[in-house]
A and B are shown apart, each in its own frame.
Chain A
Amino acid sequence: DVKVTQSSRYLVKRTGEKVFLECVQDMDHENMFWYRQDPGLGLRLIYFSYDVKMKEKGDIPEGYSVSREKKERFSLILESASTNQTSMYLCASSATGTANEKLFFGSGTQLSVL
């Protein structure tokens, strides 16, 4: 069964901390994405990557960075966490080519910044 695994289900961090959210996929997908989900706003794209060491800004990249050193792993980094980054974070992957719009999501990481 295909799988996108996010390392933590719940995280509680303090304002100003550096936060790492990790995501691993086992489907050999080229494309990986980070979204945040907030009530009433749906899913908003933070960053995406279509290849190792490649990254592109999504719609709300401010305050975030990403790292993709290996094909299967895509990390989201909050350099200095702030309370407005409290949210559910969802990682997703997709194959290149005709099926690139079909995203496979992880179960999410609920991040609380105090």
Chain B
Amino acid sequence: GQQLNQSPQSMFIQEGEDVSMNCTSSSIFNTWLWYKQDPGEGPVLLIALYKAGELTSNGRLTAQFGITRKDSFLNISASIPSDVGIYFCAGQLLGSWGKLQFGAGTQVVVTP
């Protein structure tokens, strides 16, 4: 499958800090999505992006679909303890019908 490069691999942050992570690829994606996995659970969809340049928010989360269609960014503002988990980017290639390529994930740890 296509390679999605997600960084950073892990982050240790203090409560109240902002968090940024990104995903890049050599391929052009039709759709970018961001999922969060809580400990012991399956991933849950946070944000879906469909157009180049699109900026979408979900509460304290903001994600952007890169202009080149080869990257995406997720920002979390004013982190709280429940933000802990693994965040995955996922991309859907044009015509790949529901099949997603996932990044390796960013482990976020929030300390009080």
Contacts and interface: CB of A to CB of B under 8 A. Distances in A.
Contact of A4 (B9, B42, B105): B42
- Bin the interface of chain B by size: 20 to 34
Given A4-B42, A43-B90, A44-B102, 9 more contacts: A45-B1, A45-B99, A101-B33, A101-B98, A105-B44, A107-B40, A107-B41, A108-B40, A108-B42
A48 B96 CA distance: 12
- Bin the interface of chain A by size: 20 to 34
Contacts of A44: 1, 102
A55 B61 CA distance: 36
B31 A42 contact: no
Interface of B: 1, 4, 6, 9, 31, 33, 35, 40-45, 48, 88, 90, 92, 97-100, 102-105
B42 A48 contact: no
Contacts of B90: 43
B42 A92 contact: yes
A106 B40 CA distance: 10
A43 B97 CA distance: 17
